[in-house]
Amino acid sequence: MKKILIIVPDGGMLFESAGIADILMQANQLHTDGLARPRYHINIATTQPHQVIHTGRGQNEQEGTDVVDWLRLAAPHARRIASICGGAMLLAQSGLLNGRRATTHWKLLETMQSTFPEVKVEEGPLYIQDGPIWTSGGVSSGFDLTLALVEEDYGFSLARDIAQDLVMYLHRPGGQLQFSRYNLRQTCSSGPISDLQAWILENITADLCVEALAEKVAMSPRNFTRIFTRETGVSPARYVSEARLAAAWQHLEKTSDTLDRIAANTGFGSSINLRRIFEKQLQLTPGEYRQRFHCRNVIIFCHLRHKARDLK
């Protein structure tokens, strides 16, 4: 039997801890014939003395410090430690992630990397295992991590049966990536680079090679690349690629345009280039992305438009 302690901060999302507990309880209930005791013994704890968890409020600093201190003491006695979403920040603060690969919610990735440079932060995966330490991305990716723990403990068949009973993916399509809204890196102060970033977003189909951008701000390509990277944290080529990819996302989500038209309107030139970038960055085709994130109103509108045309 595995003993699982789930620590829920005050202000945390309750469906997160409840969902994890439900997955583990489902493991206890399935195929119980011949089991002398349940597979998992589950406890849910909070740091609050009143033992009541309030949702919708942020974790206070003292609570975080208490959890970090406890983690340092408990880690040597635990077979594995897992974090969900922003919980990875507490693991990093405790030093348990030093030298290890880890992930967290996409909004916290840059903060985590800059605050804890000894952690090998990875963006994209729903969860990462590095030795006895498991970390996951956004809230629902904790469910993916929990299924992976069950599979490690009791095998593929049990994890698959749980996923089927709860109508979940055992392994999500798309290379197990967590999707983020692109937060294009803006400079903190006004100036030529900030103005250029705004111009790029408004002229996404223009010639945005380094030489053309450098000429626009009256710099040499080498000096421009150095200053742009210093002020934004990414190279000009990376920024342009992210800007075009973000624009393509919006077109796929909000329009019924063909891939050729989207590619032309976002600077990719052809649907082949668009597909290549999507598969490289997201491990999904543009069509698969559209299927998962397309606005329902667009689908309804397109259906009604086709119906009206048929009636003519």
Across 61-73, b (16+ Cβ under 10 Å) vs e yields: eebbeebbeebee
Q: 49-63, 133-147, 170-184, 201-215: lowest mean pLDDT where? A: 170-184
CA dihedral (229, 235, 236, 237) in degrees, to 10, reads 180
Over the stretch 133-169, which tens digit does the pLDDT of each residue have? 999 988 788 999 999 999 999 998 899 899 889 888 7
For 31-59, how does the pLDDT look when each residue is reduced to its tens digit (9 = 90+)?
777 778 899 999 988 877 766 666 655 56
Q: Looking at per-residue confidence, does 55 or 102 come out higher?
A: 102
Q: Examine the pLDDT at 3 and tell me if it is beyond 80.
A: yes
Helix (H) or strand (E) holding 60: none
Q: Which long-range contacts (CB under 8 A, 24 or more apart) does 274-283 make?
A: 274/248, 277/241, 277/244, 277/245, 277/248, 278/245, 278/248, 281/245, 282/174, 282/175, 282/177, 282/179, 283/174, 283/175, 283/177
Structure tokens at 229: 């990277």
Cβ-based neighbours of 231, under 8 Å, separated by 6 or more: 187, 191, 193, 194
| Percent of the chain residues topping a pLDDT of 70 | 83
The Cα 37–Cα 19 span in angstroms is 22
Tokens of 105: 């919610």
Across 1-15, 158-172, 298-312, least confident range: 298-312
Task: Give, rounded to a whole angstrom, the gap between the first and last alpha carbons of the chain.
Answer: 68
The two structure tokens encoding residue 39: 């597979």
pLDDT at 176: 44
Helices then strands, counting H and E runs in the chain, come out as: 14, 7
Pair 145, 178: CB distance under 8 Å: no
Mean pLDDT of 280-299: 75
Tokens of 60: 């206070």
Cβ atoms of residues 91 and 135 within 8 Å = yes
Q: Residues 97-104: what's their mean pLDDT? A: 96
Please, what are the domains in the chain?
Answer: 2-165 (3.40.50.880), 192-299 (1.10.10.60)
Amino acid in position 176: Q
